[in-house]
Amino acid sequence: MADRFSVRHQPGFTAIAATCFVLLYFPIVVLVVYAFNAATSTSAWGGLSLKWFVSAWNNDAVIEASIRSLQIGAVAAILSTAVATMAALATTRTPPYPGLTFKYAAINQPLMVPEIVTGVALLIFFSRIKIFTGYTGLGYLIAAHTAFCIPFAYLPIRARLESMDLTLERAAADLYATPWKTFRRVTLPLLWPAILAGLMLAFVISLDDVVITEFVKSGGQDTLPTYMLGQIRRGITPEINAISTVFLLLSVAIVTLFFFMSRKRE
């Protein structure tokens, strides 16, 4: 019998994998290292210092943009995950029927359409609403981020539902449990790791978004990514590195928390 094919045993795999990891992580390492640079240049090393973290902490514009990003990201992640959970249940706990594939495509539309197209469409749509209502608050950004994050939360939740054994749900139904009680007592505990994964992914995607935010936001509604983009246009300082490092640590903390929570749940 011929040996089973394994890409790891192909010539050059190790070198290609190592090159990809270096290209992926080396720029991040450089960014973090230069966040502690005492010099004002991002190309010359001037010794170790925490002054850029202090500078960012004392920068009111950075704090305001960070709080706004966290608020939008948290609300958008919760809303998009709730909608994605309902959509995943509706598209997996039903026999196949004509139009189901179209619903899959409609839910995942933000993944297939270029983000710039989505941004322009939302700009035109929301501009009409702003004219009619006079409202220019953060609701537009929250709605845009929620719609954009739904497929990111939907995919892991749907994958979990499709791999779940239906025996327990059928047993609950045989014992006269209502659909809501079956979901709350059986489906939700089994689905919880995927919901956490979708929530985390949606939050990170919202936190990171630039294109849609640039098109939808009103004056004075900069999120941290759009603020950093504006600062880079004026000149790069290690303060940008310090801000990026803090959010990198935040992302790592979220992933670590999710890992331990899902492990405990399993």
pLDDT at position 56 is 85
Handedness of CA 220, 224, 229, 232 (dihedral sign): positive
pLDDT at position 1 is 45
In a domain, 251, yes or no: yes
pLDDT at position 266 is 53
When divided into structural domains, the chain yields a total of 1
In a domain, 13, yes or no: no
- What's the whole-number mean pLDDT along residues 84-95? 87
In a domain, 155, yes or no: yes
Domain membership of residue 240 as a residue range: 59-265
Check if the beta carbon of residue 174 is closer than 8 Å to that of residue 101: no
In a domain, 19, yes or no: no
In a domain, 185, yes or no: yes
Q: Tell me the pLDDT tens digit for each residue of 169-217.
A: 888 888 888 888 888 888 888 888 889 888 988 998 898 888 999 999 8
Q: Which two tokens stand for residue 99?
A: 């139009």
Q: Tell me the pLDDT tens digit for each residue of 158-182.
A: 988 888 877 888 888 888 888 888 8
CATH number for the domain that contains residue 247? 1.10.3720.10
Residue with tokens 């004026």: 234
Q: Tell me the pLDDT tens digit for each residue of 132-144.
A: 888 888 899 999 9
Q: Tell me the pLDDT tens digit for each residue of 32-88.
A: 888 888 887 777 787 888 888 888 888 888 889 989 999 999 999 999 999 999 999
The pLDDT of residue 10 is above 70: yes
In a domain, 32, yes or no: no
In a domain, 167, yes or no: yes
In a domain, 247, yes or no: yes
